[in-house]
Amino acid sequence: MKIFKSFKILNKEIDFNESIGFVPTMGTLHNGHLSLIKVAKKKSKKVLVSIFINPTQFNNKKDFLEYPRNINKDILALKKLKVNYLFLPHKNEIYKKGTPKKINISLNDKILCSKYRKGHFEGVLAVVDRLMSEIRAKYIFFGEKDFQQVYLIKKYLKKIHKTKIITCKTIRNKNKLALSSRNLLLSQKLISKCEQISKNLFHYKNKILKDFKNIVLLNEYKLKIMMLCDKVEYFEIRNSINLSKRFSKKNFRIFIAYKQKGIRLIDNI
């Protein structure tokens, strides 16, 4: 596996005329990330993974500093999967002089996570735009767990880049909890509570699918979930195509963000 730390050397060494699959990550790789890489390996001739913890998407400095990091373990995992290339840029490589650190989004898109994490997606879009501008891969892969993030990347960046955006299913543990690097910050007791929250989400969705009138149980399920965490930031049902509040039995999706001992977790089903 070749490791690069600058765009200049990366572009000199990689032939982007080949079918290259790109998986951008913030490291502390788990089975969710590895599943993206496996899909990329099947769809592409060669795979490039990046690890960069983007400071501009953290609206809380403490959250940035406490975000889990384990680069040595990540490199071993990538080598085991026989990933071809790894990009490990410094923040000065990403945000060179004149490079925007934020991309503005419309007021209509300041919902769900964007409402509660000021500037978060503006930072996400800026770093993804920078990566896609310099890395001319055929495909780029994202997970559905960050559903709103993928929606905004498609909305704001799809038209200006040739790289095809591929979305992959959320990977969960045996008790339905969505895998996340932040899960490492939780005790086993809190993990168990999060698993119960996930089970409640699936139970609620199944009720709606059986009888759409059960949508009125939203507040009842929110109360159940509030008993399993410190705080529920949002618990909403939205259109899975455009994230509006106009949805039907065929296109609804449940979104949630909650906190366990200060650790913020999200999910959607």
**Closest residue by Cα to residue 71 from 27, 101, 104:** 27
Contact 38/186 with Cβ under 8 angstroms? no
| Residue/partner pairs of 188-196 with CB below 8 Å, 24 or more apart | 190/260, 190/261, 190/263, 193/228, 193/229, 193/260, 194/228, 194/229, 194/260, 194/265, 196/228
What six digits make up the tokens of 219? 């507040």
Residue in 33, 90, 120, 161 annotated catalytic: 33
Backbone angles phi, psi at 83, to 5 degrees: -65, 140
Q: How far apart are CA 195 and CA 126, in angstroms?
A: 33
Helix (H) or strand (E) holding 203: helix 188-210
- Chain centroid to CA 6: how far? 24
Residues in the chain: 269
Distance CA 88, CA 71 (A): 10
Is 150:144 a contact under the CB 8 Å cutoff? yes
H or E element in which residue 94 lies: helix 91-94
Q: Is 33 a catalytic residue?
A: yes
Catalytic annotation, residues = 33
